[in-house]
């Protein structure tokens, strides 16, 4: 059965999720994944990963240190519990691949702290170890690695301000600074701090509880759009035409994101087509075609220089309707230099869609570059005026220490975050999960 990635939006474990033996769970998941991989051999050598920097080497008595020690001991127990045949040490060296490995083949899993963390996240959601895939584990590891800089900053500062005792006023002020530095934004920070202070007035708040409360508050901010009528998942409706208009400033990652979305759609069993409506530069169309090839999805373009983007969209809709395509991804230009033109261009594309594809399920997704922080958010205001946006995609979460920007985005735009990108590869984009995101951001 095809796994539909678009339906994957894990929720936080509820109070009645049964408690799990994480070591046993991780062991079964590891054995299951190894079996899968042996069936689909040959394996590709693992991507070289940067050495993880030690996380929050806290004073030995603090709860941060306890959490780190707990995972280390679980990891040791896990390694010990595996029979020699499954032990990663006995893996035969992967054969040297003469050509670039197919993008499809995921690297073998490594039994490390990141694997265990991913396993814990999946286990806590009540998933069964026999149903998880190597792609899911790899993605969670990537997400955690991507947010490592932000998390390290937060945890290191937390370590400095939080002792063993309950929180005091000074510690709360420091928490405020930490959130602001992670680019969570003033509104969200104020609200979170207020929640913590309200609680402090009722009872003593040990640091561990404060962190739990903060986690829940941040998740709450990210999930508010669901309470305002947005569905939890953005899943293309099967058997009909879905059109996703991908907008955003130049360089934020629109074209790359379209390649990754096309890949995800194919993997999830959808028929897909791409429209090259960023016609300003010939190179942009070429770049999109390369991504289309990688994902195995056709690209509709117009060879005329400076072709009318709306005409390209018209052609693409015609092709999509003739072929019974389910998901049409539309790449657009994002030149902010000529704001008026850009807005007119996007509005025209939208009119063509509304006129020509009356039954289509249309989404307008804004792509934002996480490394730009609050600046990116300000730039994006143009798009909120030009198109009726229905969601956000955040890219480049790898390599930023300001991963908290996701919170500011959800708050300021009032839109659900639909996908996040954490790398330049085909598989480096997945549907957003507030639970997994917040855990990767500040979870222990």
Ligand X SMILES: Nc1nc2c(ncn2[C@@H]2O[C@H](COP(=O)(O)OP(=O)(O)O)[C@@H](O)[C@H]2O)c(=O)[nH]1
Q: Which of residues 185, 423, 431, 443 is near ligand X by CB under 6 A?
A: 423
The strand pair at 242-247 and 327-332 is best described as: parallel
How many residues form the binding site for Mg ion (CB under 5 A)?
3
Is-contact 435 11, C-beta < 8 A?
yes
Of the pair 217, 329, the CB lying nearest ligand X is at 329
DSSP codes of every residue in 224-292: HHHHTT--S---PPTTS-EEEEEE-STTSSHHHHHHHHHHHHHHTT--EEEEEE--S-HHHHHHHHHHH
CB under 5 to 8 A by kind: which of ligand X, Mg ion, none does 225 bind?
Answer: none
Neighbours of 57 (CB within 10 A): 13
Q: Would you count residue 165 as binding ligand X (CB under 6 A)?
A: no
What is residue 66's three-state secondary structure? helix
Q: Would you count residue 255 as binding Mg ion (CB under 5 A)?
A: yes
Residues from 325 through 344 that contact Mg ion (CB under 5 A): none
Q: Would you count residue 254 as binding ligand X (CB under 6 A)?
A: yes
Torsional sign, CA 253, 255, 260, 265:
positive
Q: Would you count residue 431 as binding ligand X (CB under 6 A)?
A: no
DSSP letter for 126, please. T
Is-contact 49 145, C-beta < 8 A?
yes
Q: Which of residues 47, 131, 286, 424 is near ligand X by CB under 6 A?
A: 424
Residues from 283 through 302 that contact Mg ion (CB under 5 A): 284
Question: From the CB of 202, what's the least distance to ligand X, in Å?
Answer: 42
Of the pair 256, 364, the CB lying nearest ligand X is at 256
Tell me the backbone φ, ψ of residue 363, rounded to 5 degrees. Answer: -125, 135
Tokens representing residue 87 in the block: 């032990």
Q: Would you count residue 149 as binding ligand X (CB under 6 A)?
A: no
Is-contact 363 328, C-beta < 8 A?
no
| Sole window of 73-81, 87-95, 226-234, 252-260 interacting with Mg ion (rule: CB under 5 A) | 252-260
Is-contact 113 444, C-beta < 8 A?
no
Q: Would you count residue 253 as binding ligand X (CB under 6 A)?
A: yes
Q: Which residues contact 61 (CB under 8 A, 6 or more apart)?
A: 164
Q: What's the gap between Cα 428 and its chain centre?
A: 8
Of the pair 143, 273, the CB lying nearest ligand X is at 143
Q: Would you count residue 400 as binding Mg ion (CB under 5 A)?
A: no
Cβ-proximal residue to Mg ion, closest one: 255
Of the pair 278, 439, the CB lying nearest Mg ion is at 278
- Site mask for ligand X (CB under 6 A), range 367-406, x = bound: ----------------------------xx-xx-------
CB under 5 to 8 A by kind: which of ligand X, Mg ion, none does 248 bind?
Answer: ligand X
Q: Which residues bind ligand X (CB under 6 A)?
A: 248, 250-256, 334, 395-396, 398-399, 421-424, 428
Contacts with Mg ion, residue ranges (CB under 5 A): 254-255, 284
């Amino acid at each position: 059965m095809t796994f539909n990635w678009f339906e994957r939006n894990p929720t936080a474990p509820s109070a009645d999720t049964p408690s799990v033996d994480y070591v046993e769970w991780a062991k079964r998941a590891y054995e299951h994944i190894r079996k899968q991989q042996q069936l689909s051999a040959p394996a590709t050598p693992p991507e070289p990963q940067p050495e993880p920097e030690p996380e929050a080497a806290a004073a030995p008595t603090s709860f941060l240190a306890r959490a780190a020690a707990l995972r280390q001991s679980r990891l040791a127990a896990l390694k010990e519990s595996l029979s020699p045949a499954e032990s990663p040490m006995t893996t035969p060296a992967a054969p040297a691949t003469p050509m670039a490995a197919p993008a499809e083949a995921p690297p073998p899993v490594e039994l490390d702290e990141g694997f265990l963390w991913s396993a814990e996240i999946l286990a806590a959601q009540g998933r069964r170890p026999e149903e998880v895939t190597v792609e899911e584990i790899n993605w969670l590891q990537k997400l955690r690695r991507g947010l490592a800089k932000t998390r390290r900053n937060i945890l290191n500062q937390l370590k400095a301000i939080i002792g063993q005792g309950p929180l005091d006023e000074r510690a709360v002020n420091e928490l405020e600074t930490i959130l602001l530095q992670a680019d969570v934004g003033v509104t969200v920070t104020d609200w979170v701090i207020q929640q913590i202070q309200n609680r402090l007035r009722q009872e003593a708040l040990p640091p561990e509880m404060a962190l739990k409360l903060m986690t829940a508050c941040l998740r709450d901010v990210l999930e508010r759009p669901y309470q305002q009528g947005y569905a939890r998942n953005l899943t293309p409706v099967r058997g009909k035409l879905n059109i996703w208009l991908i907008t955003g400033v130049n360089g934020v990652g629109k074209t790359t994101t379209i390649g990754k979305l096309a890949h995800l759609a194919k993997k999830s069993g959808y028929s897909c087509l791409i429209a090259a409506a960023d016609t300003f530069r010939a190179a942009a169309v070429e770049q999109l075609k390369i991504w289309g090839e990688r994902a195995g999805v056709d690209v509709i373009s117009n060879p005329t220089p400076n072709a009318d983007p709306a005409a390209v969209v018209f052609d693409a809709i015609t092709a999509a309707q003739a072929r019974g395509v389910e998901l049409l991804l539309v790449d657009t230009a994002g030149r902010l230099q000529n704001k008026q033109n850009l807005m007119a261009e996007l509005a025209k594309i939208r009119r063509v869609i509304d006129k020509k594809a009356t039954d289509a399920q249309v989404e307008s997704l804004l792509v934002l570059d996480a490394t730009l922080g609050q600046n990116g958010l300000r730039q994006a205001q143009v798009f909120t005026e030009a198109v009726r946006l229905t969601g956000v995609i955040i890219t480049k979460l790898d390599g930023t220490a300001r991963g908290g920007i996701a919170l500011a985005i959800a708050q300021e735009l009032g839109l659900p975050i639909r996908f996040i990108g954490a790398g330049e590869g085909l598989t480096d984009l997945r549907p957003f999960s507030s639970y997994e995101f917040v855990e990767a951001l500040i979870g222990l």
